[in-house]
Chains A and B, each alone.
Chain A
Amino acid sequence: MRGGIAMTGRHLPRINIVMVLYLLFLMLPIYWLANMSLKTNTEILGGFSLWPRDLTFANYAKILGDPAWYMGYVNSIIYVSMNTVLSVAVALPAAYAFSRYRFMGDKHLFFWLLTNRMAPPAVFALPFFQLYSSVGLFDTHIAVALAHTLFNVPLAVWILEGFMRGVPKEIDETAYIDGYSFPRFFVKIFMPLIASGVGVAAFFCFMFSWVELLLSRTLTSVDAKPIAATMTRTVSASGMDWGVLAAAGVLTILPGALVIWFVRNYIAKGFALGRV
């Protein structure tokens, strides 16, 4: 209960304390990761230190200099981008159809899409492994990208449909009356109106594909090995290379943080599947 201006002065520090504690708990793991990445292995194993006594960038240098490491990032970025483009490209016409037309079973089909997300990815690891191996797609980027579309296309359809529903159908009709063909209307008039929706859908596809480990690890071995797999498999003869692993972790967080920055204003609408 706030009792007017006089009380605010007394309450403000307490709110600050709560906030600081909250942020502390939130940031601590990330700080610790960054902290570790800047230490030497001896210091990490040697004892407790809040900040690097012996500041080193050797861990980062190792990752950025060794193809075995940085190719993990390249591979991840390749299949994540492929997946994002593929998912959004497939979801756009589907979402348009769901938002604009009534057809037999449309509501059931729309819900069925979402049920695809109810199964854990692990369920599909075995069939996908066998399937992609038998058609010769094993250890390729497109294999992982395709596997992830199973989860991302439904999500993208739901998000985009929500955004498209917000655009009045009369705009479509006016455009046709004005003489726009469907493709031209879609690109010139419709896309700018749902641009934020496309951004949010792409972000969610990116996020899922970027963090998903099981499928991407099962479907790859060398050529398309993602960074997450590289990280979890790195145990050298001399034991764990703690510092390098921490540096890899920091570099893995960065792309996500970067992408979030671009869609931060629309993210809430995306979490509500575009339905706010």
Chain B
Amino acid sequence: MTLTLDGVSKVVNGQVHIHPTELTFAPGTMNVLLGPTLAGKTSLMRLMAGLDVPATGRILWQGTDVTGMRVQDRAVAMVYQQFINYPSMSVYDNIASPLRLQGKSRTEIDRAVQETAAMMKLTPMLARKPLELSGGQQQRCALARALVKGAGLVLLDEPLANLDYKLREELRLEIPRIFEAAGSIFVYATTEPEEALLLGGNTATLWEGRVTQFGPTPQVYRQPKDATTARVFSDPPMNFLAVTKAGDSIGFGAGQKAPAIGSLAGLADGRYLAGFRPNHLEIDRPEGAAMAFEARLKVTEITGSETFVHLDHHGERWVGLIHGVRDLELGAELRVWLDPAHVYVFSTDGALVAPAAYALAA
């Protein structure tokens, strides 16, 4: 059971929503679509489900062309961000409804419903109506209905986005377990890089209707193909610094210089974009080689055990994630440190030139 998108695109009223896309999801894999809002995650999913017909290209399921096939005839299941259930039916009937339509026998349906309900911890709620449940339980009901069908392709469109923090974490931990039990291709759309990393599998990063990179999740995270992917797959987004390499030093900002070390050392002379993740910016001087930057502190956000510092470095906005609560003076010049092993180098048009040394070692 393989799903292949072959040059699939979508155009709405002359506007390109999805640029021609090539993707192949192997049988029984977890695939994350990662991208900000309006990147085209939902559009892409609707094409996969068959709810929308692509403008160009073909959709292949196990090698058979299913483009334009009625959605009823496709082996898919989908869970939306909103909690979509059939409000007039009980939870039991909700879960049973896809099986009843498949014409399964009564005992078979009952066994499958009880099994799925138990897995989704819905057994005590089977007699209730979906709207009498909490948000988390409603979404469990929707998930149960999607799973009970045994569809080869399960599409989850930001299923946890409307849940509160606690329920989201609880359900997120269960999704890999559900995935293991189902054995189908899972496609999971999310805006949060953290979710992609927790789910593992493969990740496709989306940006403005294009898949910028697709591969095993840790690899996409550690070795983003370009600056856009790196920006999408980093929360808060990756920080960038325009640098000019000349000889054994790099110049940046208003004439500052630093020795070219780490991934910067082996570059040919010219202009580059250096990128680093917020958690690699440090306030205390690290051991070993480090580059120092003077930046003005604009905002600090303290989230209990961590501090986000928003910095202005010669017009570039940087965000740093510092462990511990720091009492810092706003508006002051702050010296921040960066280990060159954490620096990615991109060409000025965004393509990756050299990944950070730490990412290669890992």
Using CB atoms and an 8 Å cutoff, list the residues of chain A in contact with chain B. 168, 170-171, 173-181, 189, 192-193
Q: A178 to chain B: which residues have CB within 8 Å?
A: 77, 97-98, 101, 145, 149
Bound CA span A176–B78, Å: 10
Q: Interface SS of chain A: helix, strand, loop or mixed?
A: helix
Bound CA span A5–B51, Å: 62
The answer, yes or no, to whether B305 is at the interface (CB within 8 Å) is no
The answer, yes or no, to whether B80 is at the interface (CB within 8 Å) is yes
Q: B78 to chain A: which residues have CB within 8 Å?
A: 173-174, 177
A173: nearest chain-B partner, CB-CB? B51
The answer, yes or no, to whether B249 is at the interface (CB within 8 Å) is no
In the A-B complex, the 7 residue pairs with the closest CB atoms: A192-B88, A179-B101, A178-B98, A170-B84, A176-B71, A170-B80, A174-B84
Most buried by B among A177, A181, A189: A177
Contact A168 B84 (CB under 8 A): yes
Proximity string of chain B (59-98) to chain A, C-beta cutoff 8 Å, 1 when within and 0 when not: 0000000000001101011101010101111000000011
Q: A168 to chain B: which residues have CB within 8 Å?
A: 82, 84
Q: B319 to chain A: which residues have CB within 8 Å?
A: none
Q: A189 to chain B: which residues have CB within 8 Å?
A: 86, 88-89
The answer, yes or no, to whether B15 is at the interface (CB within 8 Å) is no
Q: List B143-201 residues whose CB lies under 8 Å from chain A.
A: 145, 149
Q: A170 to chain B: which residues have CB within 8 Å?
A: 80, 82, 84
Contact B49 A177 (CB under 8 A): yes
Q: List B87-133 residues whose CB lies under 8 Å from chain A.
A: 87-89, 97-98, 101-102
Bound CA span A171–B77, Å: 13
Bound CA span A192–B87, Å: 9
Which one of B86, B97, B149 contacts A171 once the chains associate, using CB atoms below 8 Å? B86
Q: B97 to chain A: which residues have CB within 8 Å?
A: 178, 180
* B interface residues, tally (CB under 8 Å): 22
A167: nearest chain-B partner, CB-CB? B87
Most buried by B among A178, A179, A189: A178
Bound CA span A192–B51, Å: 24
Bound CA span A170–B86, Å: 11
Bound CA span A192–B89, Å: 9
Minimum Cβ distance to chain B for residue A150 (Å): 33
Contact A174 B80 (CB under 8 A): yes
Minimum Cβ distance to chain A for residue B241 (Å): 43
**Residue contacts A-B, CB under 8 angstroms, 27 given:** A168-B82, A168-B84, A170-B80, A170-B82, A170-B84, A174-B80, A174-B142, A174-B145, A175-B86, A176-B51, A177-B49, A177-B51, A177-B71, A177-B74, A177-B78, A178-B97, A178-B101, A178-B149, A179-B98, A179-B101, A179-B102, A180-B72, A180-B97, A180-B101, A181-B72, A189-B86, A189-B88
Q: B49 to chain A: which residues have CB within 8 Å?
A: 173, 177
Bound CA span A179–B82, Å: 20
Q: B142 to chain A: which residues have CB within 8 Å?
A: 174
B103: nearest chain-A partner, CB-CB? A179
Bound CA span A176–B89, Å: 16
Given contacts A189-B88, A192-B88, A193-B88, contact A176 B72 (CB under 8 A): yes
Bound CA span A188–B47, Å: 26
Bound CA span A29–B72, Å: 59
Bound CA span A268–B71, Å: 38
Bound CA span A192–B88, Å: 6
Given contact pairs A171-B84, A174-B145, A178-B145, enumerate 11 new A-B contacts (beta carbons under 8 Å): A170-B80, A170-B82, A171-B86, A174-B84, A174-B142, A176-B72, A177-B49, A177-B78, A178-B101, A178-B149, A189-B89
Q: B145 to chain A: which residues have CB within 8 Å?
A: 174, 178
Bound CA span A184–B71, Å: 15
Minimum Cβ distance to chain A for residue B187 (Å): 13
A171: nearest chain-B partner, CB-CB? B84
Bound CA span A174–B82, Å: 11
Q: A173 to chain B: which residues have CB within 8 Å?
A: 49, 51, 71, 78
Q: A174 to chain B: which residues have CB within 8 Å?
A: 78, 80, 84, 142, 145
Minimum Cβ distance to chain B for residue A165 (Å): 15
Minimum Cβ distance to chain B for residue A193 (Å): 6
Minimum Cβ distance to chain B for residue A46 (Å): 59
Bound CA span A189–B72, Å: 16
Bound CA span A178–B102, Å: 9
Q: B82 to chain A: which residues have CB within 8 Å?
A: 168, 170
Bound CA span A209–B49, Å: 46
Q: A175 to chain B: which residues have CB within 8 Å?
A: 86
Most buried by B among A171, A174, A181, A193: A174
Q: B87 to chain A: which residues have CB within 8 Å?
A: 192-193
B86: nearest chain-A partner, CB-CB? A189
B87: nearest chain-A partner, CB-CB? A193
Minimum Cβ distance to chain B for residue A13 (Å): 44
A180: nearest chain-B partner, CB-CB? B101
Minimum Cβ distance to chain B for residue A146 (Å): 33
Minimum Cβ distance to chain A for residue B140 (Å): 15
Most buried by B among A168, A179, A189, A192: A179
Minimum Cβ distance to chain A for residue B121 (Å): 21
